[in-house]
Amino acid sequence: MLRFATIGLAGVLVGCSGGDAEGCEEFLVEVVVTDPEGNAIPDVVVELDDTACVDSGDGITFSCSTTEPGEHNVYAQAVSYEPYGQRIDISSDHADCASPVVTQTVQLQRESAV
C-alpha cells in the first residue's frame, strides 16, 4: 500500500534553474530520506514521477528534476520499510529560479510485523 501524507524527519526541497521572469526551464527537487532515527536507509530507491533520482553520494540526499510545472509524485521505498509517496506542487510562475518553490517533509516507516 502506498501512503500519501506529510510526516516526520526527511524533507523534499523544490527549486528551479535556468529561465527568466517568464518561468523556469527546469525544476529541481531534492529529496532527503531517513529512517525515524534520522539514519540513512540502505538501498533506498527514490523517484519523481517514475523517474529515478540521483543519490548525492551520502545515501540520504537525492536529486531529481522535471521540466513541467504542476503536480508531481515523489516516491521512496526500501526493503523492510513501508513504501512512501508524496504529491508536490511546482508553481510555473516562480519568479526566482534559484530559490526553493516548495518545501515539504516525508519519512519512511519500518514495516509492521503482522
Domains and CATH numbers, the chain: 3-106 (2.60.40)
Residue-wise pLDDT tens for the chain (114 aa)? 333 333 333 455 555 655 543 567 778 888 888 999 989 999 999 999 999 999 989 888 888 888 888 899 999 999 999 999 988 888 766 555 665 555 555 688 888 876
Residue-level pLDDT at 25: 76
* Radius of gyration, alpha carbons of the chain: 14
Q: Are strands 3-4 and 54-55 parallel, antiparallel or unpaired?
A: unpaired
Strand order in the sheet with 100-106: 54-55, 61-66, 26-32, 10-17, 100-106
Rounded to two decimals, what is the model's pTM?
Answer: 0.73
